[in-house]
């Protein structure tokens, strides 16, 4: 199994998406802004995107084009499980590879931390995206604030050689 199966997307013309790990103290303002925009205003998923107790102990990834932050995601480590959450991309930048770069960086962080399993709760409209990255559905679908979700797992203990593909600097083009 190859960890990253080919996902076709078109990058914005002359713009490179850069996904970086950022300390929580620096990540907080853009994270809250994008969560508010996507999860509160657009999707009505929650009323509050601040003061999540896991934020301070999580690794945050910001995706930027130039100096503009256009997407976010985080991973929280519990034992040898990396739990990915709050992945969001500003609406105008969707389908331009931003989410892919965020996920590749989050997965690479999990590999670096020697996680055995990565889990997430995917909105069902994005299932094929996560499946192409190597995640598999687990259990029944459920609703969170009226939006259908699916718990998904990636088992990093699989015997195939996935480590070289997990490094965002060593991925196929």
Residue 124: per-residue pLDDT: 92
* Alpha carbon 7 to chain centroid, angstroms: 15
pLDDT score for 104: 95
Give me the pLDDT at residue 159, please: 53
* Domain assignment present for 117: yes
The CATH number for 100's domain is: 3.40.630.30
Residue 7 lies in a domain: no
pTM above 0.75, yes or no: yes
Residue 164 in any domain: the answer is yes
Q: Tell me which residue range forms the domain holding 95.
A: 17-168
Give the total number of structural domains in the chain.
Answer: 1
Query: Domain for residue 131, yes or no?
Result: yes
State the pLDDT at residue 171.
Answer: 37
For the chain, residues with pLDDT lower than 70 are 1-15, 159-173
Cα–Cα distance, 71 to 150 (Å, whole number): 21
In a domain, 11, yes or no: no
Distance (Å) of CA 93 to CA 61, 96, 99: 16, 6, 9
Domain assignment present for residue 32? The answer is yes
């Amino acid at each position: 199994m190859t960890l990253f199966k080919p996902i076709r997307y078109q990058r914005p013309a002359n713009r490179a998406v850069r996904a970086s790990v950022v300390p929580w103290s620096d990540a907080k303002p853009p994270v809250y802004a994008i969560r508010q925009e996507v999860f509160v205003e657009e999707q009505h998923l929650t009323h509050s995107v601040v003061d999540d107790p896991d934020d301070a102990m999580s690794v945050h990834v910001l995706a930027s084009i130039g100096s503009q932050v256009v997407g976010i995601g985080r991973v929280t480590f519990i034992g040898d499980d990396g739990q990915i959450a709050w992945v969001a991309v500003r609406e105008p930048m969707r389908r331009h590879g931003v989410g892919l770069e965020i996920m590749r960086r989050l997965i690479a962080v999990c590999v670096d931390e020697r996680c055995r399993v990565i889990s997430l709760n995917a909105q069902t409209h994005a299932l094929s995206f996560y499946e192409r990255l190597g995640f598999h559905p687990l259990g029944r679908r459920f609703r969170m604030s009226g939006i259908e979700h699916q718990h998904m797992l990636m088992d990093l203990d699989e015997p195939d050689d996935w480590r070289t593909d997990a490094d965002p600097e060593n991925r196929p083009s």
